[in-house]
A and B are shown apart, each in its own frame.
Chain A
Amino acid sequence: MAVVAEVAPVVANTRNRNGRRDVHTSRQARIGWMFSTPALIFVGMVTIFPIVFSVALSLSNVSVTGSGFALQGFTFSNYSQLVHSSTWRYALGFTVIYTVVTVLVELVLGTAIALALERLTKGRGLMMALLLLPWSIITVISAELWQYIYEGTYGVLQAIFQALGLGAPVFLGSPTSAVVSMMVADVWKTTPFVAVIVIAGLVMLPGDVYEAAACDGASAWTIFWKITLPLLRPTIAIAVLFRILQAFGVFDLPFVLTGGGPGTATTSLAILSYKVMFQNIDYGPGAAVAVSATLLVVLGCLAFLRVFKAQVGREEIQ
C-alpha cells in the first residue's frame, strides 16, 4: 500500500507528458483507456456501486418484501438510532480500543523482533519465512486454534497455568478476559507481519550513518532513538496504516473465537453490522453501522497521515 510515497510522483509525471500532446500521444492515451477499462469496470461495479448503494440503504427506510426489499423515503433515523444505541456505542468503543492497543503492541514487539533478527548474519531468509507463516494462516483457523488453547477444561493454557500454580484462570468466559485473550490471538498472528515490514525497512537504511555514529561513540540506545527510529518512519507509517485498516474492520477473529461474546464484550462494529443485517434482517440500520465504520476508519487514517506528515515533513516521507 503505497499511500505515503507514491502520490506526488504521479502528478509530476502526467504534467510532463501533458506538456506536448500530439496525434501520437492522444492515440497512446486512447490505448491506455482501452487497457484500463476492464479493470475499472470490475472495480466500479463491485466496489463503488455497492458503497453508494450502502449509503442509500443507510439513509432509507428499508422494508423486506416477499420478493426482495424496497427503499422508502429519505431519513436519518437509522443514524439517530445508532447514536442512541448503547450497543453501537459499546461496539465503537471496543473497536477503537482494540485497534489502538493491538496496533501499539504489535508495533513495539514487531520493531523489537526486527532489531534482533536484523543482526542475524545467517538464516535470515528462513526466519522471515517462519515469521510469514502466521500471516498466511487463514484467520478462521487461528481463531479455532486459540479457542482450543484457551478451552476452559482441557485447554493447554489451563494446564500450563495450573502446573505453574497460578490457579484456574478464565480466558474466554468473562468479558474483560475475553477481550484480552482476543488481543493476544491477534498479536500472535500479526506481530510477525509487522516485524517483516520493519526488517525490510531496516535493511534499506544507509550504513555510513551508523559508521559515523559509532566513530562519535554514540551508545546503541542513542543510535536507536536518534538515527534508526527517525529513518524508519516511512516504513512504520506503512505498517501502522495497514494495521489500522485491518484491525478496525476486525470480523473473522471474534466471529469464530467468541461469537462477539460473552454478551457483547467482543462485538466489533463489523460483527454488529453483520448481526443486524443478516441475523435481524434489518438492512437500513445494518448499513448505517457499516457506513459509520467506513467513515471513521478513513477519517482515522487521514488524521494519522496528517499528524505524521506534520511531524516529519513531506520530503522525508518520499
Chain B
Amino acid sequence: MKFHSRTGWRKWINLLNLAVVIIVLFVMLPIYWLVASSFKTPVNVGAQPPQYFPNPISFANYNSAFVHYGFGRYFLNSVIVTVASTMLVLSIGSLAGYALGRLPMRGKSPLLVTLLIISVFPEIAVVSPLYLLMHQIGWLGSYEALIVPYTAFNLPFAIWIMRNYFLGIPREMEETGRIDGASPLRTYWSIILPQSLPGIFTAGVFTFTACWTEFLMALTLDNSNNYRTIPVGIALFGSPNVVPYGTIFAASVVAVVPIGILVFVFRKFVVSGLTSGAVKG
C-alpha cells in the first residue's frame, strides 16, 4: 500500500518498526535456539532450566555429528544427489521449455497442462510403486534411486518457469540466428540461453531447495546408511529412547548453511519464481 499523506508519519514509522521487530523475533527466535543449542555441551542441552546462552561454548556436538554419527557421509550424499538432479533438470528442462515456449509443436498446450497437473501430485502417491519398481531392478540404495525421481518431479515446475522467460525473448533475435544459418541447437545455446539466465537461476534455486530438503522418497528409496541424505540421516540420529538433540542441531546448522547462502544470494529469483504465475499474462 502506498500512502502519500504525510500526517502522522513519525508515529507510523515507530509502530511499523515495532511490527517488524516482532515479526523478526517470531521468525528468528527458533533459529537462534537451534544455533545456540548446537554450541551447548551435550549435558547442557538438557539443562533444566534451559541455558539461554551456551556457557561454556562447546564444539562437542559438531564433533559427535561428524565423528560418531558419520554426518559427513550424509552431507556428501546430499551434495551429489542435489547437484546431479539440479544439473539434469536445468539442461533437460531448458531444452523442453524452449521447445514448448517457442517452437510450433502440435498439442503442446495439453502437454503443458498435463505437466502442471503432474507437478501437484502428492509424493505419497508414487512412493510405493517406485519402491516396488526399484526393488525389481535393484536400484534401492543407490544415487540414481534419488536422482532420477528428483529430476522427474522437479522438471514440470522448472519447465514452466523457464518457458515463461523464453516467451519474453523477442522473436527477432531467433530470426537473426536462423538467417545466419545457425542450427536450432546453436540458436538455443548462444542466443536463447544467455537471455534467460534469470529464469534458469529461478528454476535452479527451486530445484536445489526441493532436492536438499526432500524426505519421503529419500526415506523409502535410499535408507541404507551409505546412501542416506541429510534429512533422513538427521531424522534417524540416536535410538528410539534417546534423541541426541545437540548432535542433531549441530548437523542441522551445517545443513542450513549452503541453502541459506543460496537463498540469500538468489532471493530476487526466488521471489520472482513464487509470483511468476500471478503477475504474468
A59 within 8 A of B: no
Main secondary structure, interface of B, reads: helix
> Which of chain B's residues have a CB closer than 8 A to the CB of A18?
104, 106
Asked if A283 meets B128 with Cβ closer than 8 Å, knowing A6-B160, A202-B1, the reply is: yes
> Are B259 and A42 closer than 8 Å at their CB atoms?
no
> Which of chain A's residues have a CB closer than 8 A to the CB of B20?
116-117, 120, 127
> Are A200 and B275 closer than 8 Å at their CB atoms?
yes
> Are A2 and B164 closer than 8 Å at their CB atoms?
yes
A45 within 8 A of B: yes
> Are B230 and A133 closer than 8 Å at their CB atoms?
no
> Are B23 and A117 closer than 8 Å at their CB atoms?
yes
B120 within 8 A of A: yes
> Are B27 and A149 closer than 8 Å at their CB atoms?
no
The CA of A33 and the CA of B257, in the complex, are separated in Å by 40
> Are A301 and B120 closer than 8 Å at their CB atoms?
yes
- Residues of A219-239 at the interface with B, using a CB-CB cut-off of 8 Å, are 220, 223-224, 228, 234-235, 237-238
The CA of A199 and the CA of B270, in the complex, are separated in Å by 13
Interface flags for B184-198 (1: CB within 8 Å of A; 0: not) read 100010000000000
- Indicate the member of B26, B148, B232 with the most A CB atoms within 10 Å: B26
Asked if A129 meets B120 with Cβ closer than 8 Å, knowing A6-B277, A45-B152, A238-B278, the reply is: no
Interface flags for B154-168 (1: CB within 8 Å of A; 0: not) read 011101100010000
The stretch among A74-82, A140-148, A165-173, A175-183 that forms the contact with chain B is: A140-148
> Are B123 and A249 closer than 8 Å at their CB atoms?
yes
Taking residues whose C-beta sits less than 8 angstroms from the other chain, chain A's interface range is 35 or more
> Are A33 and B263 closer than 8 Å at their CB atoms?
no
Asked if A57 meets B108 with Cβ closer than 8 Å, knowing A7-B113, A129-B264, A249-B122, the reply is: no
> Are B125 and A2 closer than 8 Å at their CB atoms?
no
A138 within 8 A of B: yes
Name the one of B127, B155, B278 contacting A237, with C-beta atoms under 8 angstroms.
Answer: B278
| Tally of chain B residues near chain A (CB < 8 A) | 110
> Are B126 and A43 closer than 8 Å at their CB atoms?
no
> Are A214 and B37 closer than 8 Å at their CB atoms?
no
Main secondary structure, interface of A, reads: helix
> Are A5 and B50 closer than 8 Å at their CB atoms?
no
Interface flags for A1-37 (1: CB within 8 Å of B; 0: not) read 1111111111100100110010001001101111110
B30 within 8 A of A: yes
- Nearest CB on A from B15, distance (A): 9
> Are A119 and B1 closer than 8 Å at their CB atoms?
yes
The CA of A46 and the CA of B146, in the complex, are separated in Å by 11
Asked if A5 meets B278 with Cβ closer than 8 Å, knowing A11-B109, A18-B106, the reply is: yes
> Are B280 and A6 closer than 8 Å at their CB atoms?
yes
The CA of A54 and the CA of B95, in the complex, are separated in Å by 30
Name the one of B31, B98, B243, B277 contacting A133, with C-beta atoms under 8 angstroms.
Answer: B31
The CA of A245 and the CA of B116, in the complex, are separated in Å by 13
> Are A54 and B104 closer than 8 Å at their CB atoms?
no
> Which of chain B's residues have a CB closer than 8 A to the CB of A113?
23
> Which of chain B's residues have a CB closer than 8 A to the CB of A69?
132
> Are B30 and A146 closer than 8 Å at their CB atoms?
yes
The CA of A38 and the CA of B249, in the complex, are separated in Å by 40
B242 within 8 A of A: no
> Which of chain A's residues have a CB closer than 8 A to the CB of B120?
1, 245, 297-298, 301
Q: A187 — nearest CB in chain B belongs to which residue?
A: B26
Q: B279 — nearest CB in chain A belongs to which residue?
A: A204
- Nearest CB on B from A11, distance (A): 5
> Which of chain B's residues have a CB closer than 8 A to the CB of A51?
121, 125-126, 129
> Are B33 and A154 closer than 8 Å at their CB atoms?
no
> Are A43 and B156 closer than 8 Å at their CB atoms?
yes
> Are B124 and A270 closer than 8 Å at their CB atoms?
yes
> Are A290 and B278 closer than 8 Å at their CB atoms?
no
- Nearest CB on B from A7, distance (A): 6
Asked if A294 meets B122 with Cβ closer than 8 Å, knowing A47-B153, A145-B30, A238-B275, the reply is: yes
> Which of chain B's residues have a CB closer than 8 A to the CB of A48?
118
> Are A138 and B234 closer than 8 Å at their CB atoms?
yes
- Residues of A244-278 at the interface with B, using a CB-CB cut-off of 8 Å, are 245, 248-249, 251-252, 255-256, 269-270, 273-274, 277-278
- Nearest CB on A from B46, distance (A): 5
> Which of chain A's residues have a CB closer than 8 A to the CB of B267?
125, 128-129, 132
Question: What would 13 more interface pairs be, CB under 8 Å, given A38-B92, A135-B263, A144-B234?
Answer: A28-B103, A28-B184, A36-B100, A39-B92, A43-B115, A46-B153, A125-B267, A140-B232, A141-B252, A188-B27, A214-B4, A270-B124, A273-B124
The chain B residues found within 8 Å of chain A, CB to CB, are 1-5, 12, 16, 19-20, 23-24, 26-28, 30-31, 33-34, 37, 46-50, 88, 92-93, 95-96, 98-100, 103-106, 108-109, 111-113, 115-133, 135-136, 148-149, 151-153, 155-157, 159-160, 164, 184, 188, 209, 212-213, 215-216, 220, 230-232, 234-235, 243, 245, 248-249, 252, 255-256, 259-260, 262-264, 267, 270-272, 274-281
Between A and B, 11 residue pairs with Cβ closer than 8 Å are: A6-B281, A39-B92, A46-B126, A116-B16, A131-B27, A136-B263, A138-B255, A153-B48, A196-B271, A214-B5, A270-B124
Instruction: Give the 6 A-B residue pairs with the shortest CB-CB distance, closest first.
Output: A32-B103, A2-B277, A46-B152, A249-B122, A39-B96, A35-B99
